[in-house]
Amino acid sequence: MAKPLHKRIFGRLAMHAILILGSIVFSAPFVWLISTSMKTPEELYPPRWLPILPDRVVESPYMRLRTNERPVRPLGVLDADWERLQPAAKTAITERITALAPQLPAYMQPLADHPELTEGVFARLLRRAPSRLFVGPVEPGVQWFAERVTPDEIRDVFELVYCRVAFSELVFISWDMRIETPLPPEEVPWQVIEGDASLVPRTRDVRRVSQEVRYSFEDHNRFVVQAELPMAWSLDEFKKMRLANHADRSWHSFDMVLEMDGRRLEAHSPAYAATDRWQDHTWQVASYEDDTVAVKTWITLHDTGPAAYDTPGKARVTVTYNQAGGLMAAYNKFISNYLEVGRRVPFWRYMGNSVFLVVMNILGQIFGASLAAYAFSRLRWPGREFCFVLVLATLMVPPQVTLIPVFLIFKNLGWFNTLRPLWVPAFAGAAFFIFLLRQFMRTIPTDLEDSAKIDGCGYIGIYWRIILPLIKPALATIAIFTFMTVWNDFMGPLIFITDQELYPLSLGLYALHAVMVGQHQMMMAAAVLMTIPVILLFFLAQRQFIQGITLTGLKG
């Protein structure tokens, strides 16, 4: 008796709900991987699922707290107690900051009553506030917060809240590692040559001497500052320059141009106003070091031809800030970690090594395993079954047992520190793939083989013209399994390779971890780059994979 319609509909809906829920659960780690790869270091704690969209910054400087620096209700404090004390404490802190404003540096005083500054001071004091303040009368708690607001505390928080663009030391480095600072930071003759911007020296009551840039993108989409500096070297001696700069967390991009000895050198890629802290950016002349496996901490400068500026003994530096709107700022933020990974390590070289190993292993397994399986399934020769049992018996031997003998064999062959140990053995076939193809080949009717023999086709011709076209689903399955194994192989390259130029992607990302300790967002970005080809392969070849497994299981 058929089930009622409403029960069948309910059953299908329940099944679809379970499948969707399962997909969400199993995709959660990958979603976390992708989202973390787009975060900045300050977004890693407290943990959150999605990265924070950058603010739309049109004017700078401005006051803004980071998300993870805002006040958070302490554990164990009731909502009612928190809501009772928080407003009163903030009001007292604002009044205290206003009273202490005359003791602050002049540029801080106009912003002393800013609510973001109050929030920052309250959040900092809250970290060391005893829990007893939230129980009982409000007045003792308010007094506790007000008494601990000092000028030093205000200055510290102001440096965190005050987002600005500023330039400090500009350093030049030669090929023989001579270091020259042409002028002190406050004397570098920066000039605004385009856009709505102005320069304000910060030389007193500051922790780092600099020149602050005040800009607005209301009427212009960029501003350009330029400085002419004395230079005792020739262009042939110059290697790189380093600019200490303070960013404003706007994710605007900025480019560098150096004009020297009648030549114009332009940055190969932009830098980003990503953080709201002091940072150093380095630009280096294009050289052989760009093609090495050294960790690249610089942006390459390319010679783009003659320059209009050609003053002996001087160099001209031009910095161009380009506005990034809402979508562009988010784009700059979300790709920055990926670009940094590609710049820090020779990512494409690692990728090329991995692709080479994958292609050679797939070709080797397809031809090696298919030839062996053809011999075991279609040819008759003495000891065939016994040899096949021996092949299957190798599946019982753990690879760790044969690791040292195999290593010694390849070392005596002179293959140590080459890629050959990682792909040549594939042409001998793998026992599991031989078994898989043998079972598949045995399902092919012998009439096709007999007809080919009558037409004068030999064993190799039968293998090439009859067998291989009929086992394409199984070969696709082998190709997918091989791709997954080789792409993710870590132990093989670790054992046989010492030259970093030969690293595949799996081992190269491990080397990246060694130079980016604690930068988890970078490791996540590298992991995403390594995972993308696997995901693409799954979506492109899932039909062949399922077909190969299904047909083998039904007919074997």
pLDDT tens-digit readout, 416-445: 999 999 999 999 989 999 999 998 888 888
Same-domain check for residues 171 and 225 = yes
Q: Same structural domain for residues 391 and 487?
A: yes
Kindly indicate the confidence band of residue 413, based on its pLDDT and cuts at 50, 70 and 90.
very high
Whether the pLDDT of residue 348 is over 90: the answer is no
Residues 168 and 156 in one domain: no
* Domain end position, chosen among 145, 160, 175: 160
For residues 278 and 285, the answer to whether their CB atoms sit within 8 Å is: no
Residue 554: which pLDDT band, with cuts at 50, 70 and 90? very low
Q: Is residue 45 part of a domain?
A: no
> Has residue 119 been placed in a domain?
yes
Residue 2 has pLDDT above 80, yes or no: no
> What is the dihedral sign for C-alpha 380, 383, 386, 388?
negative
Calpha distance 101→263 (Å, rounded): 50
Domain that holds residue 143: 62-160
Same domain, 173 and 307: yes
* pLDDT average, residue stretch 521-540: 84
How many domains in the chain? 3
Largest CA distance in the chain: 106
Kindly give the pairing relationship between strand 191-194 and strand 179-180.
Answer: unpaired
| Contact present, 188 and 157 (Cβ < 8 Å) | no
**Domain match, 413 and 302 both:** no
Based on the fold, state whether residues 438 and 511 are members of the same structural domain: yes
In a shared domain, residues 387 and 522: yes
On whether the CB atoms of residues 40 and 275 are closer than 8 A, the answer is: yes
- CA contacts within 13 A on the Cβ side of 505: 26
Distance CA 206, CA 203 (A): 6
| Phi, psi torsion values for 382, nearest 5 degrees | -60, 135
Residue 289 and residue 414 in one domain? no
Residue 3 lies in a domain: no
Q: Each residue of 198-211: pLDDT tens digit?
A: 999 988 777 889 99
390, part of any domain = yes
The reported pLDDT for the residue numbered 556 is: 40
pLDDT grade for 358, boundaries at 50, 70 and 90: very high
* pTM listed for this prediction: 0.82
Asked, for residue 56, whether it belongs to a domain, the answer is: no
Contact between 496 and 421 under an 8 Å Cβ cutoff? The reply is yes
Q: What is the mean pLDDT of the chain?
A: 88
The C-alpha atoms of residue 463 and residue 368 are separated, in whole angstroms, by: 12
Other C-beta atoms closer than 10 Å to the C-beta of 341 total: 24
Could you read off the pLDDT of 479-522 as tens digits, one per residue? 888 998 999 899 999 999 988 889 998 888 887 777 776 788 88
Q: Which of 325, 357, 389 is the last residue of a domain?
A: 325
Q: What is the CATH number of the domain that holds 239?
A: 2.60.120
- 176 shares a domain with 155: no
Do 215 and 314 have their domain in common? yes
Let me know if residue 331 belongs to a domain: no
283 strand-pairing partners: 241, 299
Instruction: Locate 294 and state its tokens.
Output: 């050294």
Q: In whole angstroms, what is the distance from residue 423 CA to residue 359 CA?
A: 9
Residue for token pair 């942006």: 299
Q: Are residues 229 and 278 in the same domain?
A: yes
- Residue 37 in any domain: the answer is no
Task: State the pLDDT confidence band at 280, using cuts at 50, 70 and 90.
Answer: very high
Is it true that the peptide bond before 61 is cis, omega within 30 degrees of 0?
A: yes
- CA distances to 240, 435, 446 from 441, rounded to whole Å, are 63, 10, 10
Residue 167 near residue 223, CB atoms below 8 Å:
no
Tokens of 170: 């500009």
d(CA 171, CA 181): 5
Bridge partners (DSSP) listed for residue 264: 259, 305
Of 90, 125, 160, which closes a domain?
160
